[in-house]
Each structure stands twice: as structure tokens, then as C-alpha cells.
């Protein structure tokens, strides 16, 4: 075998290799286990040939090694310049999640009342007729007691039709003074349409103390209405009826769309009805064992969906349940 010729050929191949991949091929061809050089080394019989072959091997190995290092450095340089990241380029805005509008309003209302020194108490969605009706002074035969209007689980248990049972539970468990709000889902046997849903949310409020008056109630609701609908809103209260309050009132806020001039949102009255309220009926105090001669109190119960619709002027509350992001992202 012509060792010199082989070495020349190998060095030429090394010099010609222009990438790390190519020099790898050269390495295998000239130094690999099946290369002519390695085969010859295995067969060698005399000292001279051994020395010559090993000298060639060392020369080729060194050439491969230094060429490999050179090519690796070149490739790294190319990548470092080619794959630059420009950290100053604008990126796509990261889309953050948000709270559902009803959750936002729920928290807003809670904040308003925490600021006034009220507590937030939990109620139960599965109630007994005792708390949902009896304690709230609903007479026998009241339509709300009928399975046509309310969702009963059995004779005694019903999905609460309002958050008002939380009043009875709170008063039964503690003595005045009581200042609490309770927010959550309520259930009624309604067919869904633009303004009805079998599940919706209410905020219940209750204040019981010595000397609480109707003026305290209207002042508190006034404060809440302005917090929800804007400081420049007018408020109005009209008489109404609920079994568990006497007198009962309904709260109105001046129409935020026409500012009282009359439009379709307020049905040309200039006023929008927000929800019910009243002074706690003495019959309720008697049910929970409070002395109605000593204590007076007020309560209110408003729908959060209704607040959302009025405030944001969308015509169909079913949007709140559809979870179409084009809708929910607006708030
Ligand atoms: N519970 C009544 C309703 O659902 C609202 C209300 C609550 C009225 C508290 C007066 C006092 O319509």
C-alpha cells in the first residue's frame, strides 16, 4: 500500500471538507474501523510499515481534528449572526382572561357594602320551605309555593327562589345589630327569554338594629345605585308589596340612556326599575325571635343580571350564559 499517497489523498479530503457533516464523512472514510488505513494496521507484520502507517494515522487524525474545530467554529459563528433575536420587536399581545360580568358586578356590590361595614354571608341554593317561604311570611297558597313556579326537590326542599332565606338564617343564628349582604344564584321555573332565566343572581341586603328607618333604607339604596350607575343618577322609590317587608318599595334609577327624557330603554318613563326592598315585616322578626318593639330593619333584593343589562345596555340576558367571547370580552 502506498502510505504517502493515502495520506495525501486524506489530507486533500480534509482540506476540501466544508462542513461538520462533510468532515465526519472524511473521518469515517480514512480513520474508521473499515478504512484502508485501519485494515492495513491490523494486518501489519513488520516494524517499518507499522511506523509509517501510524505516522500517517496521527497526521490524518490531527488534520481531521483541527479541521473539525475550524468548521465547528465557523458554523457557530454563522448561527450566532444568522439567528439573532431582536428583543425590541413588538410581539403579539398576550390575551388575558377576565372575570365574567356577573362576577364583576357581584364583587363591586360586595365592595360597596364592605366599605359600609357590612359582612358578606353565604346562603344555600338548596333551601327548605321553612326558610324559603314560612320564615318570610309567605301565606299558604301563595303562587311561589307552587311547583308551577318553583323548583322543588321534594315536599320540603326547594331550589331557593330568592336570596331572602339568608335573612332568616342570619337572624335566627345571631342577635342584632346585623349588617349583611348575601349574593348568589336563585332558581325559578321560568322559560328562558330575553328577560327571564330559570337561574339568575341576586344580592340580598339586611340591616337590623335599634332605630333603623325607611330613610336609612333609601339612603343606602341611593348610595348603591349611584355606585353602580353613576354619581349623577337620580333615584326614586315607589310603594310595592312583598310578604316579608312592610312597607315595601321598589327602587328606580333615572334612565342613563336618555337622562330622564324618555326612550325605549326606560319605556318612555325616564325611570328604570332596579329591584325590591322594604322594612322587615314584624312577622319575620317574630319568626326568628326578635322583639319587633325593640328592633327595626330593612332588606333589599336585586337581580344582578338586571343590573348588568341596564348598565351595559344589552337587550338579552341569555348572552350572559352563552359565553361567546365576542360578548364577554367587552366587559
Ligand atoms: N326577594 C324579593 C324578590 O326576589 C326581593 C326583596 C328582597 C324585596 C328583600 C324586599 C326585601 O323579588
Phi, psi (5° rounding) for residue 246?
-155, 115
Is 74 in the same domain as 123? Answer: no
Query: Coil, strand or helix: which one is 266?
Result: coil
User: In angstroms, what is the span from residue 162 Cα to ligand 1's centroid?
Assistant: 7
What is the DSSP secondary structure assignment for residue 19, as one 8-state letter?
A: S
What's the 318 CA to ligand 1 centre distance in angstroms? 22
Q: Among 30, 50, 82, identify where a domain stops.
A: 82
Question: Atom 4 in ligand 1: which residue has the minimum CA distance?
Answer: 162
Can you give the pLDDT at residue 32?
Answer: 92
The mean pLDDT of 87-112, rounded to a whole number, is 92
Compute φ and ψ for 71, nearest 5 degrees: -65, -35
Instruction: Determine the number of helices (DSSP H) and then strands (DSSP E) in the chain.
Output: 12, 9
Where are the strands (E) in the chain, listed by range?
119-120, 126-128, 157-159, 178-187, 199-209, 235-242, 245-254, 271-280, 296-303
User: Per-residue confidence at 116, pLDDT binned at 50, 70, 90?
Assistant: very high
What mean pLDDT do residues 98-114 have? Answer: 97
Q: Please write the tens of the pLDDT for every residue from 268-281.
A: 998 989 999 999 99
Query: How many folded domains does the chain comprise?
Result: 2
pLDDT at residue 208 greater than cutoff 90: yes
Nearest in space to 150 (alpha carbons), one of 164, 161, 138, 165 = 161
For residue 251, what is the DSSP state? E
> 297 has which bridge partners?
208
Query: Which protein residues are within 6 Å of ligand 1, measured from CB?
Result: 162, 164, 242, 245, 248, 276-278, 299-301
244 CB-near residues (< 8 Å, 6+ apart): 136, 137, 138, 164, 167, 278, 280, 281, 283, 284, 299
Atom number in ligand 1 closest to CA 302:
5
Residues 183 and 286 occupy one common structural domain: yes
59 and 206 inside one domain: no
Examine residue 42 and state whether it is found in any structural domain, yes or no: yes
Cell numbers at 301, concatenated: 333584593
Do 134 and 275 belong to one domain?
A: yes
User: Would 92 be classed as within a structural domain?
Assistant: no
Provide the pLDDT for residue 191. 94
pLDDT greater than 80 at residue 1:
no
The answer to whether 227 and 112 are in contact (CB under 8 A) is yes
The CA 164 to ligand 1 mean position distance, Å, reads 6
**Which of 15, 47, 82 finishes a domain?**
82
Q: Which residue's CA is minimally distant from atom 5 of ligand 1? A: 301
87 within a domain of the structure (yes/no):
no
Same domain, 180 and 257: yes
Q: What is the pTM of this model?
A: 0.73
Give 113 or 317, the one with higher predicted confidence: 113
- Does residue 171 sit within a domain? yes
Would you say 308 and 328 are in contact if contact means Cβ atoms under 8 Å apart?
A: no
Indicate if 281 and 210 belong to the same structural domain. yes
Does any domain span residue 95? Answer: no
Does 81 have pLDDT greater than 80?
Answer: yes
What is the atom index within ligand 1 of the atom nearest the CA of 276? Answer: 8
How far does the centroid of ligand 1 lie from the alpha carbon of residue 203, in Å? 9
138-149 tens-digit pLDDT: 999 999 999 999
pLDDT for 263:
85
55 within some domain: yes
Q: How far apart are the first and last CA of the chain?
A: 85
DSSP string, 308-319: HHHHHT-S-TTH
Same domain, 128 and 270: yes
pLDDT in tens, 227-269: 999 888 889 999 999 999 999 999 998 887 788 888 887 889 9
Report CA 122 to chain centroid distance, whole Å.
20
Take atom 2 of ligand 1 and give the residue whose Cα is closest: 301
**194 plus 233 within the same structural domain:** yes
32 Cα–ligand 1 center, Å: 90
Give the model's pLDDT for residue 151. 98
CA distance 94 to 113: 34
Specify whether 182 is located in the same domain as 108.
yes
The answer, yes or no, to whether residue 178 has pLDDT greater than 90, is yes
Instruction: Compute the average pLDDT of residues 274-293.
Output: 97
User: What's the CATH code of the domain at 284?
Assistant: 3.30.930.10
Which residue is closest in CA terms to ligand 1's atom 7?
301
Cell numbers for 304, please give them: 344582578
Q: Which structural domain, as residue segments, surrounds residue 263?
A: 101-328
Mean pLDDT, residues 113-128: 98
Average pLDDT score, the chain: 93
SS3 letters for 77-120? HHHHHHCCCCCCCCCCCCCCCCCCHHHHHHHHHHHHHHHCCCEE
In the block, cell 501510524 appears at 54
| Cα–ligand 1 centroid distance for 300 (angstroms) | 6
To test the ligand 1 pocket, which listed residue (280, 301, 302) has its Cβ within 8 A of the most ligand atoms? Answer: 301
The answer to whether position 39 is within a domain reads: yes
Please, which residues have CB within 8 angstroms of residue 73's CB and are 6 or more apart in sequence?
none
Residue 4 main-chain phi, psi, to 5 deg: -60, -45
Shared domain check, 147 and 60: no
Beta bridge partners of residue 206, listed in sequence order: 180, 299
Ligand 1 mean position, distance from CA 22 (Å): 84
State the cell numbers at 50: 507499522
Distance 96 CA to ligand 1 centre (A): 37
Amino acid at each position: 500500500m502506498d502510505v504517502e499517497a493515502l495520506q495525501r489523498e486524506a489530507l486533500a479530503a480534509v482540506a476540501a471538507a466544508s462542513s461538520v457533516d462533510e468532515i465526519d464523512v472524511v473521518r469515517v472514510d480514512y480513520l474508521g474501523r473499515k478504512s484502508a488505513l485501519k485494515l492495513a494496521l491490523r494486518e501489519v507484520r513488520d516494524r517499518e510499515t507499522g511506523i509509517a502507517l501510524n505516522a500517517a494515522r496521527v497526521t490524518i487524525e490531527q488534520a481531521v481534528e483541527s479541521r473539525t474545530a475550524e468548521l465547528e467554529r465557523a458554523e457557530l459563528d454563522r448561527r450566532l449572526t444568522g439567528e439573532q433575536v431582536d428583543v425590541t420587536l413588538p410581539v403579539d399581545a398576550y390575551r388575558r382572561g377576565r372575570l365574567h360580568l356577573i362576577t364583576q358586578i357581584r364583587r363591586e356590590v360586595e365592595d360597596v357594602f364592605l366599605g359600609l361595614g357590612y359582612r358578606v354571608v353565604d346562603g344555600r341554593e338548596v333551601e327548605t320551605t321553612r326558610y324559603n317561604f314560612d320564615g318570610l311570611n309567605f301565606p299558604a297558597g301563595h303562587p311561589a309555593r307552587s311547583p308551577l313556579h318553583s323548583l322543588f326537590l321534594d315536599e320540603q326542599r326547594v331550589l331557593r327562589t330568592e336570596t331572602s332565606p339568608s335573612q332568616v338564617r342570619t337572624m335566627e343564628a345571631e342577635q342584632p345589630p346585623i349588617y349583611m349582604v348575601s349574593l348568589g344564584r336563585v332558581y325559578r321555573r321560568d322559560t328562558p327569554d330575553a328577560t327571564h332565566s330559570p337561574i339568575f343572581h341576586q344580592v340580598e341586603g339586611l340591616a337590623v338594629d335599634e332605630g333603623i328607618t325607611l330613610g336609612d333604607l333609601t339612603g343606602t339604596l341611593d348610595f348603591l345605585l349611584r355606585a353602580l350607575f353613576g354619581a349623577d343618577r337620580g333615584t326614586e322609590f315607589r310603594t310595592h308589596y312583598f310578604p316579608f317587608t312592610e312597607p315595601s318599595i321598589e327602587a328606580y334609577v333615572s334612565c342613563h340612556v336618555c337622562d330622564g327624557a324618555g326612550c325605549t330603554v326606560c319605556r318612555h318613563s325616564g325611570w328604570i326599575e332596579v329591584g325590591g326592598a322594604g322594612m322587615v315585616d314584624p312577622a319575620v322578626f317574630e319568626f326568628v325571635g326578635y322583639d319587633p318593639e325593640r328592633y327595626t330593619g330593612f332588606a333589599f333584593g336585586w337581580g344582578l343580571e338586571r343590573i348588568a343589562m341596564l348598565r351595559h345596555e344589552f337587550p338579552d340576558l341569555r348572552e350572559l350564559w352563552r359565553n361567546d367571547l365576542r360578548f364577554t370580552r367587552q366587559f
